[in-house]
Amino acid sequence: MAAPALTARVRDVVEPIAVAAGLYLEDVEIHGTGPRSTVRIVLDLEESETGAVDLERIAEASRDISVALDAVAELDSEYTLEVSSPGTARPLTELRHFRRARGRLVTLALHDGRTVTGRLTQVEPTALTVAPEPVAAKKGGPTREQPPVDVPFAVVAHGRVEVELARAMTVDLGPEDDDESEDED
């Protein structure tokens, strides 16, 4: 890792660019020295937004960050810049992380070793509200809705977003390409 002063300098240069792009500067890491150094920037949406960061926004911010970092004298003239979003693998540890995950299926790891899984419906400074997924009854009976659970934020060690492949398969992606219509031209 680079000296804390250099990391702070890079953060000071990058943060206004992130803000101008409507993004949040999640993290700055600098690894290595000289031509083998790598500057990693992690950008996220503001905590009031849900969903994923658009790759075009990351690309635009990356171009602006690259230009700005080229002017930072403390950085070696040759470095690799990596700009990304946190992705779903990021542990949810801060209140802003949980706010960004509203509407998503999450698993909360509690300090006492228990876990709570469900859809994160509400995030308050002192508590998270999780709606457990409906439980299917035996032998094709109706599913049972379970009441939402309020989990005090103080008892949450961390959380993680669960990847929902089955739900992704049901999302309407719009009209499919029709190869036959292309052949008719």
CATH assignment at residue 123: 2.30.30.100
Check whether residue 102 and residue 140 sit in a common domain: yes
Of 60, 84, 108, which residue is a domain's last? 84
Of 32, 50, 84, which residue is a domain's last? 84
pLDDT at 173 over 80: no
pTM score over 0.85: no
What is d(CA 171, CA 178) in angstroms, rounded to the nearest whole number? 19
Check whether residue 67 and residue 117 sit in a common domain: no
Planar angle of CA 130, 134, 139, nearest 5 degrees: 160
Are 75 and 39 contacting, i.e. CB atoms less than 8 angstroms apart?
yes
Planar angle of CA 130, 117, 119, nearest 5 degrees: 45
What is d(CA 159, CA 90) in angstroms, rounded to the nearest whole number? 9
Across-strand partners of 144? 135
Q: Would you say residue 172 lies in a domain?
A: no
pLDDT at 68 over 80: yes
pLDDT at 180 over 50: no
Q: Would you say residue 183 lies in a domain?
A: no
Give the CATH number, domain containing residue 22.
3.30.70.1350
pLDDT at 82 over 90: yes
Check whether residue 112 and residue 161 sit in a common domain: yes
Q: What pLDDT does residue 133 have?
A: 81
Angle in degrees, 0-180, between the axes of helices 55-70 and 4-20, rounded to the nearest 10:
130
What total of structural domains would you count in the chain?
2
Q: Which domain covers residue 129, as residue numbers?
A: 95-167
Closest CA to 123 of 153, 93, 154: 153
What is d(CA 10, CA 75) in angstroms, rounded to the nearest whole number? 9
Q: Would you say residue 181 lies in a domain?
A: no
What is d(CA 87, CA 42) in angstroms, rounded to the nearest whole number? 10
Q: Would you say residue 62 lies in a domain?
A: yes
Q: What pLDDT does residue 102 have?
A: 93
Q: What pLDDT does residue 122 have?
A: 96
Are 49 and 92 contacting, i.e. CB atoms less than 8 angstroms apart?
no
Check whether residue 59 and residue 105 sit in a common domain: no
Strand (E) or helix (H) holding 11? helix 4-20
Q: What pLDDT does residue 167 have?
A: 55
Check whether residue 129 and residue 102 sit in a common domain: yes
Are 162 and 109 contacting, i.e. CB atoms less than 8 angstroms apart?
no
Q: Would you say residue 180 lies in a domain?
A: no
